[in-house]
Amino acid sequence: MKRRAFLGYAVAGTAASLLPMATADAAMQQGGQRYLRPPGAPKENEFLDRCIRCGLCGQACPNRAIKFFGMENGTASLDTPYITPREQACILCMKCGDICPTGAIPKITRTAEDVMAKVDMGQARVDKTLCLSYQGKTCGVCYRACPLPDIALRVGMLEQPHVSEACVGCGLCERSCIQIPQAIRIIPHHS
């Protein structure tokens, strides 16, 4: 590497470390990846403060839904856990919270009441222009994948999905959607 290039990289790295770390939300608004934090995680700044980047949550996840950020989401998110529901959704087993040593992912008992009260990963949104059930064909795959059927997601005529405020954002509906691009997506709640 030439000396001038090395000095340029060194100055850029030093300047970047002096700038305030952007939250993952800012990165998302600038075209970053859409992702979810594990179930029960607090607001983004608090989560980033509590998470010690130990990786135990990913090891405990039986569904292998939890991945870890590299530099693609900025330095503030480096080595923190995230879930991309289209790749692998959360099954709400709550094992990540059982293993978390700092409470960044809190312990939540695996009951419908506790999950609905304490998990807010995001909210499912249906794109009616893509959803087969809104195009005159019956589908219902998202409804059958939902761990809280008739509570978080109910179906109408031709199995048209209707999302309620009780949706916890696990992403199982998005993962199961047979449309490409998917007709149902989780909009994250980690601001």
Average pLDDT, the chain: 87
* Confidence band for 32, pLDDT divided at 50, 70 and 90: low
Of the two residues 129 and 1, the one the predictor is more confident about is: 129
Which residue, among 85, 75, 82, has the nearest Cα to 147 in the 3D structure?
85
* The pLDDT of residue 10: 44
Assess whether pLDDT exceeds 70 at residue 104: yes
- Rounded to an integer, the average pLDDT of 80-94 is 97
* The pLDDT of residue 168: 97
Question: How many whole angstroms separate alpha carbon 179 and alpha carbon 156?
Answer: 19
Question: How many whole angstroms separate alpha carbon 186 and alpha carbon 39?
Answer: 13
* The pLDDT of residue 34: 87
Task: Express as a percent the part of the chain with pLDDT over 70.
Answer: 82
Assess whether pLDDT exceeds 90 at residue 36: yes
User: pTM here?
Assistant: 0.81
* The pLDDT of residue 148: 97
Assess whether pLDDT exceeds 90 at residue 19: no
**Which amino acid appears at position 15 of this protein?**
A
* The pLDDT of residue 190: 64
* Confidence band for 78, pLDDT divided at 50, 70 and 90: very high
Of the two residues 147 and 190, the one the predictor is more confident about is: 147
* The pLDDT of residue 169: 97
Task: Express as a percent the part of the chain with pLDDT over 90.
Answer: 79
* The pLDDT of residue 155: 97
* Confidence band for 73, pLDDT divided at 50, 70 and 90: confident
- Rounded to an integer, the average pLDDT of 112-116 is 95
Residue 184 parent element (H or E): strand 184-188
Q: Which residues of 16-32 are buried (b: 16+ CB within 10 A; e: fewer)?
A: eeeeeebbbeebbeeeb
